[in-house]
Amino acid sequence: MTVNSVPSPVRIVASDSINQPPRTAELEELYRGFERELLIPLWTEIGDLMPLVPTPKAMPHLWRWNQLLQLAARAGDLVPVGRGGERRAIALANPGLGGLPYATPTLWAAIQYLRPGEVAPEHRHSQNAFRFVIEGEGVWTVVDGDPVEMRRGDLLLTPGWHWHGHHNQAVRPMAWLDGLDIPLARSIDATFFEFGSDVVSNNDTPRFSRAERLWAHPGLRPLSEERSTPSSPLSAYRWEHTDSALAAQLELEDEGLSGVVGPGHAAVRFTHPGTGEDVMPSLRAEFHRIRSSAKTRKRREVGSSVWQVFEGEGTVTVGEHEWAIARGDLFVVPSWQPMQLRGGSQLDMFMFSDAPLFERLGYDRIEIE
89 counts as binding ligand GTQ under rule CB under 6 A = yes
Looking at residues 19 to 38 of the shown chain, list those that interact with ligand GTQ (rule: CB under 6 A): none
3-state secondary structure 117-178: CCEEEEEEECCCEEEECCCCEEEEEEECCEEEEEECCCEEEECCCCCEEEEECCCCCEEEEE
Residues with Cβ within 8 Å of 280's Cβ and at least 6 positions away in sequence, in order, are 128, 130, 157, 159, 160, 181, 230, 231, 232, 356
Q: Which stretch binds ligand GTQ (CB under 6 A): 2-10, 86-94, 226-234, 353-361?
A: 86-94
Looking at residues 122 to 141 of the shown chain, list those that interact with ligand GTQ (rule: CB under 6 A): 125, 129
Q: Kindly state the number of chain residues that form the binding site for ligand GTQ, as judged by CB under 6 A.
A: 10
- In the complex with ligand GTQ, the residue whose CB is nearer, 154 or 178, is 178
Residues 357-367 as b or e (16 or more Cβ within 10 Å = b): bbeeeeeeeee
Largest CA distance in the chain: 82
Q: Which of 35, 54, 62, 87 binds ligand GTQ (CB under 6 A)?
A: 87
CB 115 within 8 A of CB 173: yes
> CA-CA distance, 306 to 103, in Å (whole number)?
8
Looking at residues 161 to 190 of the shown chain, list those that interact with ligand GTQ (rule: CB under 6 A): 164, 178, 180
Q: Which stretch binds ligand GTQ (CB under 6 A): 81-89, 207-215, 225-233, 359-367?
A: 81-89
Looking at residues 105 to 124 of the shown chain, list those that interact with ligand GTQ (rule: CB under 6 A): 110, 112
- In the complex with ligand GTQ, the residue whose CB is nearer, 110 or 333, is 110
Pairing of strands 174-180, 129-132: antiparallel
200 counts as binding ligand GTQ under rule CB under 6 A = no
- In the complex with ligand GTQ, the residue whose CB is nearer, 142 or 211, is 142
- Chain residues that interact with ligand GTQ, rule: CB under 6 A: 86-87, 89, 110, 112, 125, 129, 164, 178, 180
